[in-house]
């Protein structure tokens, strides 16, 4: 398999500008090296403050690394060139409603992603938006809807549409499904699995749910206080976890009903 994504000694430090200790350096991520192959799904797990979102943001280009480099298909990604990255690496956020523009129709928001990243004409953009709405299980009428007119599951489908519309290589999702109720979450995860199969997109997601991780991830990264604790294939980490924290995170799950729901038929139903 081709190496799709490589992180080489990527770290992130923040310097506090104010507060009671100005100038104090906070290490959100110690130098991290890892590789992801094309089409693979990586789950990032760890306790709160362990650096999961920091990794997601660094990969998506929302933050610049303090040290190290990130390569996509062997090509160094320029941390200052957001446009170069936004075509290939897309992010889905936890709060779907807040990540959509309340004053713009769904059709327009999806067209804007194309305007920014492609050279399609406005007619081609409209056709592509309609096709993408269908792909994520939405209706042509939703083109004219505003975000508040949609259910939370439909809003998350719009966010997925905005991510896939430019045919990306990687989608990064930071706890993107946590606020959805379990059955809708199962539908959204199945939708992602279907799209991944159709479009061979790699998927990187931050999750606290061992059940979801076991169900969808090829590789798991366990973090603690900004440091890598364990990284490997899901199968190996399930059967032979090397670290106590891995055992703990992969055994603990408060959302047991997700697997049963996601194991049922893949769906594109309307919520």
Ligand X SMILES: Nc1ncnc2c1ncn2[C@@H]1O[C@H](COP(=O)(O)OP(=O)(O)OP(=O)(O)O)[C@@H](O)[C@H]1O
Interface positions with ligand X (CB under 6 A): 14, 26, 28, 46, 48-54
Beta-strand relationship, 202-206 and 41-46: parallel
Only one of the segments 37-45, 46-54, 86-94, 222-230 lies at the binding site for Mg ion (rule: CB under 5 A); that segment is 46-54
Contact in structure between 195 and 137 (CB atoms under 8 Å): no
Strand ranges across the sheet with 219-224: 89-92, 170-174, 202-206, 41-46, 219-224, 227-233
What are the Cα distances from residue 160, in Å, to 7, 47, 207? 25, 26, 17
The interface partner of residue 140, options being Mg ion, ligand X, none and the CB cut-off 5 to 8 Å by kind, is none
d(CA 96, CA 37): 28
Residue 48 binds which one of Mg ion, ligand X, none, with CB within 5 to 8 A depending on kind? ligand X
Q: How far is the CB of 136 from Mg ion (least distance, A)?
A: 25
Among 11, 53, 125, 132, which residue sits at the site for Mg ion (rule: CB under 5 A)? 53
- Integer CA distances (angstroms), 12 to 16, 53, 64, 69, 227, in order: 13, 11, 8, 12, 11
> Which residue lies nearest Mg ion, judged by its C-beta?
53
Minimum Å gap between C-beta 269 and ligand X is 30
**Is the CB of 114 or the CB of 204 nearer to Mg ion?**
204
- In terms of CB distance, is 50 or 202 closer to ligand X? 50
Binding residues for Mg ion, rule: CB under 5 A, are: 53
């Amino acid at each position: 398999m081709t190496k799709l994504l490589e992180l080489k000694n990527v770290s992130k430090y923040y310097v506090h500008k104010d507060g009671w200790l100005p100038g104090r350096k906070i290490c959100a991520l110690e130098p991290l090296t890892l590789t992801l192959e094309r089409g693979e799904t990586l789950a990032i797990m760890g306790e709160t403050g362990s650096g999961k979102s920091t990794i997601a943001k660094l990969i998506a280009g929302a933050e610049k690394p303090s040290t190290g480099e990130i390569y996509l298909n062997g090509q160094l990604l320029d941390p200052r060139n957001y446009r170069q990255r936004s075509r290939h690496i897309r992010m889905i956020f936890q709060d779907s409603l807040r990540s959509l523009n309340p004053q713009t129709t769904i059709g327009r928001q999806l067209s804007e992603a194309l305007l920014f990243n492609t050279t399609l004409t406005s007619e081609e953009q409209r056709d592509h938006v309609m096709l993408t709405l269908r792909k994520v299980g939405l209706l042509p009428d939703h083109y004219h809807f505003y975000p508040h007119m949609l259910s939370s599951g439909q809003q998350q489908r719009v966010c997925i549409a905005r991510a896939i519309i430019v045919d990306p290589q990687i989608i990064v999702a930071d706890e993107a499904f946590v606020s959805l109720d379990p059955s809708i979450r199962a539908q959204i995860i199945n939708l992602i699995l279907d799209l991944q199969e159709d479009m061979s997109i790699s998927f990187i997601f931050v999750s606290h749910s061992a059940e979801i991780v076991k169900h969808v991830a090829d590789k798991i990264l366990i973090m603690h206080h900004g440091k890598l604790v364990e990284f490997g294939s899901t199968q190996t980490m399930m059967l032979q976890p090397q670290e106590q924290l891995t055992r703990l995170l992969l055994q603990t799950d408060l959302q047991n009903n997700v697997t049963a729901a996601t194991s049922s038929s893949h769906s594109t139903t309307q919520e």
